[in-house]
Amino acid sequence: MNAPDRAAAAPSAGGSAPPLNPAEQAVVDAVLAERRHLAGALLPLLHGIQDRLGYVPPGAQPLIAQALHLSRAEVHGVVTFYHHFRSEPAGRHVLQVCRAEACQACGGEALLARARERLGCSEAAPTNAARSHTVEPTYCLGLCAQSPAAMLDGRLHARLTPAKLESLLAATESVEAPAGETA
């Protein structure tokens, strides 16, 4: 569709991807061993890697391609087609705010804008400079009768108000602070 842009945006599309670090390598090997024999194994593989690492490292793509007898382009195409998969780590906390119609009807867009502003994230740069938070839109969490809704670090929250959102975000920061000091 838009090949030059995609190639520019994705380091693995051309040239060689950065090699995996040992932790990444261990996860990729383990998931490949566990799931490569499934029928239609690619999505289960990518889920397995992302569930454990938080992202699918570009360096994993050639290994997956080899294991499944696919071209690297096919694997790359799948990783980048699906919104769920990320090629680099997200912030330490991930907030996904629903912007589908039922949430729009109850202030979802304003909530998303507020979260972005509050955390220093934007549509173009979903992860803030401190890498503490990633804010992303999502399109329906199935909580449409209790809108607006969001998911924070895998936990669902419905009937959100600006005040509730603020207390959720404040809680991520209070968890954050001691960890930062010891690090």
The rounded distance, in Å, linking the Cα atoms of 149 and 127 is 20
What residues between 59 and 118 interact with another protein by CB under 8 A? Answer: 68, 74, 77-78, 81-85, 100-106
Contact 71, 62 (CB under 8 A): no
Contacts with another protein by CB under 8 A: the residue count is 43
| CB of residue 22 to another protein, shortest distance in Å | 27
| CB of residue 183 to another protein, shortest distance in Å | 29
Long-range pairs, 117-123, Cβ under 8 A, ≥24? 118/166, 118/169, 119/95, 119/169
Tokens 């995996």 belong to residue:
20
What residues between 17 and 46 interact with another protein by CB under 8 A? Answer: 39-44, 46
What residues between 112 and 171 interact with another protein by CB under 8 A? Answer: 138-147, 149, 151, 154-159
| CB of residue 141 to another protein, shortest distance in Å | 5
Nearest to 165 by CA among 178, 176, 150, 180: 150
Q: Residue 60 is encoded by which pair of tokens?
A: 């994993």
| CB of residue 85 to another protein, shortest distance in Å | 6
